[in-house]
A and B are shown apart, each in its own frame.
Chain A
């Protein structure tokens, strides 16, 4: 494989790893307080302003959503770059196979992260 293609593949792989890492990092902030503390809290009600927070409890933290969003961008980049390399250059069969594989894996990761964005 040409050095340029190798770089694009490795970079895309690193971005994918980073994307998964970001998503998992965001999920660690979803830990809820222990049961005892939950029981001590008075019941809450949803906000009066329709344009504001629609989620239960206050104040709704969207750290997990943000991290998953950034992970989606990283996964998107890991799809776009090999696709650009594949379409913008002539490649031998082996290179094409590797690039297509990376694109497929990246696209699947992208789709998986998309289902996790909530």
Chain B
């Protein structure tokens, strides 16, 4: 595997990289985590307070803190965060309820002060909303009589819209009809809009940094939003320049001059598989099935955007309204990708250890599969039942917890966490002898540590609780949505991809290690603190906005670096540095990795940075440009990677004479063309138009049904139809068929007999060009 002669001391292999690599990575990671804790403290200290009572100037109670909290529960358990959004976070078909309430109430208040144009009336309206009349000693918030009147009017409005018996809104017909619940829900919306408009004590901007933009209440971008946008851009430019200057000067990674290996790849059907490796065929089948279901749920939710009235004449909203199918679309995206990663981790262990399974490993793996099926099935059914009012007081445990990306009930979330921990246990059991013989700085340990972070970080998401202040719940929720998905999953995938290439013999282990440590440092520098780019306008103080803007810009740097430098990681054939007298068996796995690199740069990097600056996000959050980034990043990076892993494993699970190479080609091109089509044809242009409308006319209007059902929006939504069909039929279904083949044929391999049986290649000769020797950095 490694061309270096291993040095062993005290029974353990010595570290292959210098201490400075490990120290740098650890320091940056710990620094980032410290700042994260600090930002959490700031969220707890500075969130908008929930008043005990909201009263008018004449003393009458309008609603209470209990109403606000109950209203938040109504919002969550009815899946309204998967219909519209709150503080900009959630789904994009329905309105942003913070902006919606704010705009409507401001219009009503203004009308109360006179219909005719009047500066006095305008100012009076602004004062009503901007002046913060919350008394922290009594817990009482005082609002004007006009605002109280607007509240009553909006209770009627939400009862009409959310309880519409005709449906055709995206929600099911008569979704919320209980008058008490509607009132509580309206109180929740009112509180969020108060936090959005009222100035923080001692500040000239609101709890949400003046988001959403609303001229009626004098909500415009705060100075912090503009200044930190500029500083964010500067940090990106300077950081990029420094990194490329450093790598232009020092060949830290050492792969510019590579060894001239001569390798002979073993034909896949001569590589022995262990029982646990064969068991992963079932995981890949589950992964593929969930992927297909997720795409169908996505097609259904997309159809609502093109035609709210019906699904080709079928009133789908009666059984599967938009918020239901979107919940499944979002949750299943995490489930199927995670299933693929878990399977790949299990598949790699025998290849790392070069020996067969310990006793009982197979049983544990099948147990994990069963647990995974239980969690997916239980949470999916629970979400459907929960949205329809099942489970009573246990709604958040077994039904619809209701937070976007954390919609599953707490019970299923807990089971999933335990399942992930069980998976790490399985990996440890398989790796333990190898770990005992290696330095904690080397790849087997990094693989294990990276796997360990998955349940550890996912467990933090358990702290998202429905009774908490929304600012606090969003702090914990984005531990999953950002830290888990964008940082630690990214780390795990970097380790796995690096390991695959090391196991294939095409990259030296030392080089792979340097890439991993550099990845840890670069992603930690930007991505950990950069989590705060999700909290710009969710009630955290301006310092969090500043930290998020500055550091999240640095997230683009490793993407730039990996795209440019690490193309040589995968551009193996273009450089033709290595040779084999046998065919390279993983063409399609490598092709999917090439796609990952492309979408990492475009989807995560370019489209992510497009919406990253605070001043852009101020007008853009919760619009189609966010969806454009989300789809191209999540599917383009993690989705393609999971399928690439499946291709790698299936290459060994499916016999040579059954390997459907053409089908793999069809799937690869269909998925990439389909994804590119949905972005270039629909989401990107519609997002640009929507952003323009948000700045030009108003955010409220850009999120309204009137805009989303306009003729241009409808045209763009319908134009993605061919690409979406190609994605599902040409892209997802072949993956399912290949996974079925993997299950069908998995038993036709011999048991592991000797170490040589699990090796993926044999090395014939190694010699290093003179320039590579000279270029190799000192440790």
Contacts and interface: CB of A to CB of B under 8 A. Distances in A.
B161 interface: no
Question: Which residue of B506, B576, B669, B712 has the most chain A CB atoms within 10 A of its CB atom?
Answer: B576
B587 A52 contact: yes
Contact of B567 (A29, A45, A85): A29
Interface in B654-692: 656, 659, 661, 669, 672-673, 676-677, 680-681, 685, 688-689
The prevalent SS among residues of B at the interface is: helix
B308 interface: no
A58 interface: yes
A30 B574 CA distance: 6
B506 A37 contact: no
Interface in A27-80: 29-33, 37-38, 40-42, 44-49, 51-53, 55, 57-64, 66-67, 69-70, 73-74, 76-77, 80
Nearest to B577: A33
Given A11-B688, A41-B579, A69 B672 contact: yes
B583 A53 contact: yes
Interface stretch (B195-203, B383-391, B589-597): B589-597
B7 interface: no
Given A29-B567, A59-B572, A60-B573, A52 B681 contact: no
Contact of B676 (A7, A31, A64, A74): A74
B584 A29 contact: no
Given A74-B676, A77-B677, A84-B715, A58 B574 contact: no
A64 B244 CA distance: 24
Contact of B598 (A61, A67, A85): A67
A85 B223 CA distance: 40
A88 B715 contact: yes
B181 interface: no
Contacts of B580: 44, 58-59
Interface in B706-748: 711-712, 715, 719
Contacts of A70: 598, 672, 676
A73 B685 CA distance: 15
B579 A73 contact: no
A66 B260 CA distance: 27
A52 B672 CA distance: 21
Given A31-B574, A44-B579, A53-B584, A69 B506 contact: no
B164 interface: no
Given A42-B262, A59-B506, A74-B680, A52 B578 contact: no
B585 interface: yes
B587 A59 contact: yes
A81 B719 contact: yes
Contacts of A59: 506, 572-573, 578, 580, 584, 586-587, 590
A19 B528 CA distance: 34
B117 interface: no
Chain A, interface residues (CB within 8 Å), range: 35 or more
B122 to A, nearest CB: 29
A42 B574 contact: no
B581 interface: yes
B145 interface: no
Contacts of A88: 711, 715
B260 A40 contact: yes
Nearest to B574: A61
A32 B575 CA distance: 6
B156 interface: no
9 closest cross-chain pairs (CB), A and B: A47-B583, A61-B573, A59-B584, A77-B680, A73-B676, A61-B574, A52-B583, A51-B661, A60-B573
19 contacts: A37-B577, A42-B579, A44-B580, A46-B583, A52-B585, A52-B587, A53-B584, A58-B573, A58-B584, A59-B578, A62-B587, A62-B594, A66-B598, A69-B669, A73-B673, A73-B677, A74-B680, A77-B676, A81-B681
Given A42-B262, A46-B583, 14 more contacts: A29-B574, A33-B576, A41-B260, A41-B579, A55-B573, A58-B579, A59-B586, A59-B587, A59-B590, A61-B574, A73-B673, A74-B680, A81-B681, A81-B685
